[in-house]
Structure 1
Amino acid sequence: MTQDDKRRIAKPHIVEEWVGKVYTFICIAFLIVTIFSMVYFVASRGASTFVTDKINVWSFLSGIKWSPEGSPPMFGALPFIFGSFSTSLLAAVISAPLAICAALFMTEISPKIGRKVLQPVIELLAGIPSVVYGFVGLSIIVPFFRSVFPGQGLGILAGGIVLSIMILPTITTIATDALAALPGGLKEGSYALGATRWQTIRRIVLPTMLPALLTGVVLGISRAFGEALAVQMVIGNAPHIPHSLFESASTLTSVITLSMGNTVTGSTHNNALWSLALILMLMTFVFVFIVRWLERRSKV
């Protein structure tokens, strides 16, 4: 084969490589520009509440009175922050043990039945729209609470249960992948020393994979923290801090979705809603940093 033939063969490969590099660079640049544009837009609009409208940051974050149409108008975001955190943490408390137990069943106890039965069911839950979860909660959970407990059935507990079902597939999937990646030598060594299966799970599997399991829980909390429609349908949307799990409350996402379309762009009320969106975005960044930290811990 002559040198000219080798050049003719190598030329298409060089062109394809450059085309792939240019296309990849364009995609990455587009993603970076999009992310930074979104962050800048939300941050600039959210900061207008404190820069342009001269609302005190501390009074906004710690205030318990939300009355945009009052005289004078009051913008206290604490009830919404409390509602978002309480429903998200309650959902994690309910779903995390179920998800981890389901992952242990699929990986350690009965992998065949888990892959054939449980895993498809969990994947089916992940594909259901959030409005369906909200409608089911409004039709089943809320009437049940109304008939058993005092109140209207709407509240933190109803929202937490609906969110726990929604984030169950996320935590289960991540926990399953983490447990499946556990080196087999650790379990075999435990069995060789005479440990039972439950002793191996409790003393070897769970402590070793704890950072990875917590990563799934944090991602589930992040998913619940940003959910709007489902929790909005069952929480009651009352702008105050509830004194029990059966009292109506509101979240950051629910007040934004309910009020944003009824405000004038550039008004104090509109800017305050953008400030709530900024809080949501900052909390998302916090959850991402926690996940990254846990991932580094799991690799140590």
Structure 2
Amino acid sequence: MAQSTKVQQPKPHIAEEWVGRVYTGICIFILIVAIFSMVYFVASRGLRTFIGDGVNPLELLTGLKWNPGGEPALFGALPFIFGSFSTSILAALIAGPLGFCAAVFMVEIMPGFGRKFLQPVIELLAGIPSVVYGFVGLSVIVPLFRDIFPGQGIGIAAGALVLSVMILPTITTIATDALAALPSGLKEGSYALGATRWQTIYRIVLPTMLPALLTGIVLGIARAFGEALAVQMVIGNAPHIPRSLFESTSTLTSAITQSMGNTVMGSAHNNALWSLALILMLMTFVFVFIVRWLEGRSKI
């Protein structure tokens, strides 16, 4: 009677597993500490405007005049908030349809040509520095708008057009991934019922991937909202609410980058700039929460 050979199971590498857990725990701890430290640093300095300098938060959010060094000091940040939202939302309105159409082209219409040539070109846009976008906008878009429309060419329209190109890779990549992840039976069932390709895209594909597309648009708005250099070069940096798309205005990031180096730490002007940074950070958190909510509603 043959003796049954007992197969020895490999012993787990307890030491390696312990090292991996400790390393992962340290990385998570550093990440949490860095995030909370950043939030505390910006919030502690941004709140000094209201606590130490006695500025009314409603005045900061709704005031139209910005002159922290004047007599009396004016802390109206509404033109900067309006400029940030207007350029970001207009850029998303331009880049959103373009990103969706590019995704449909690469996945549905010509996947071979699209994934081989178009997708690398679009992803290449994400690696171009912001100063290059700003220089191109200042050299090409601003003179073009100056020749076609009234004004000097600088303003919300020029800034939004530059930002739309910058956020196009984000929206296109997310839309492409969502479109490629659609179940094949969804489109085949539509074709079996007699729908054309465009009817399937419009009535089946777009409603199904709409949460993912909105996620890409919100992420693009978040990136455009925090962009400084490219917008600063083409928007004019005038602290007032414009009456048209071709008048100069300013954004939160432009106001911070232009004035932060010229203020004294702890002064009312410096604290007001930190308050603008706090508003910028809070809006970033809002965009993140919106993205998480859209991901929870995704049908894919």
Could you say which TM-score interval applies, normalised by the shorter chain?
A: over 0.9
User: How do 1:78-117 and structure 2 match up within 5 A?
Assistant: 78-117=78-117
Deviation at 1:197, TM superposition (A): 0.8
The match for 1:278 is 278
The match for 2:4 is none
Q: Does 1:246 align with 2:246?
A: yes
Deviation at 1:297, TM superposition (A): 0.4
The match for 2:153 is 153
Please list the CA deviations of residues 259-296 of structure 1 after superposition, one character each: whole Å capped at 9, or x if unmatched.
Answer: 00000001000000000000000000000000000000
Q: Distance in 1 between matches of 2:279 and 2:120?
A: 36
Please list the CA deviations of residues 219-278 of structure 1 after superposition, one character each: whole Å capped at 9, or x if unmatched.
Answer: 001110000000000000000000011100000000000000000001000000000000
Q: Distance in 2 between matches of 1:185 and 1:33?
A: 46
The match for 2:57 is 57
Write out the 4+ residue segments of structure 1 that deviate beyond 2 Å after TM superposition: none
User: How do 1:1-300 and structure 2 match up within 5 A?
Assistant: 10=11, 13-299=13-299
Q: Distance in 2 between matches of 1:232 and 1:208?
A: 38
Please list the CA deviations of residues 72-120 of structure 1 after superposition, one character each: whole Å capped at 9, or x if unmatched.
Answer: 1101000000000000011011111111000011111111111011001
Please list the CA deviations of residues 114-143 of structure 1 after superposition, one character each: whole Å capped at 9, or x if unmatched.
Answer: 101100100111110010000000000011
AA aligned to 1:205 is V
Secondary structure at the counterpart of residue 250 of structure 2: coil
Deviation at 1:195, TM superposition (A): 1.1
Please list the CA deviations of residues 138-188 of structure 1 after superposition, one character each: whole Å capped at 9, or x if unmatched.
Answer: 000011111222211110000000000100001000100111111111011
Higher helix share: 1
Q: Distance in 2 between matches of 1:215 and 1:111?
A: 23
Contact 2:82 2:241 in 1 (8 A): yes
Q: Distance in 1 between matches of 2:11 and 2:26?
A: 25
Secondary structure at the counterpart of residue 162 of structure 1: helix
- Uncovered stretches (5+) of structure 2, i.e. residues with no partner: 1-7
Contact 2:209 2:299 in 1 (8 A): no
Deviation at 1:299, TM superposition (A): 4.4
Deviation at 1:10, TM superposition (A): 2.5
Secondary structure at the counterpart of residue 70 of structure 2: coil
Secondary structure at the counterpart of residue 298 of structure 2: helix
Q: Distance in 1 between matches of 2:69 and 2:48?
A: 18
AA aligned to 1:274 is W
Q: Distance in 2 between matches of 1:64 and 1:45?
A: 23
Q: Distance in 2 between matches of 1:279 and 1:45?
A: 12
Q: Distance in 2 between matches of 1:206 and 1:299?
A: 11
AA aligned to 1:160 is A
Q: Distance in 1 between matches of 2:49 and 2:178?
A: 43
AA aligned to 1:148 is I
Instruction: Please report the TM-score for the alignment, with normalisation by the length of structure 2.
Output: 0.96
Deviation at 1:196, TM superposition (A): 1.0
CA RMSD of aligned residues (A): 1.3
Q: Distance in 2 between matches of 1:206 and 1:73?
A: 51
Instruction: Please report the TM-score for the alignment, with normalisation by the length of structure 1.
Output: 0.96
Deviation at 1:51, TM superposition (A): 0.6
Contact 2:167 2:223 in 1 (8 A): yes
Q: Distance in 2 between matches of 1:283 and 1:38?
A: 15
Deviation at 1:208, TM superposition (A): 0.8
> Between the two proteins, what is the percent identity of the paired residues?
79
AA aligned to 1:297 is R
AA aligned to 2:79 is P
Deviation at 1:28, TM superposition (A): 0.5
AA aligned to 2:185 is G
AA aligned to 2:232 is Q
Q: Distance in 1 between matches of 2:123 and 2:220?
A: 15
Secondary structure at the counterpart of residue 221 of structure 2: helix
Report the number of matched residues. Answer: 294
The match for 1:3 is none
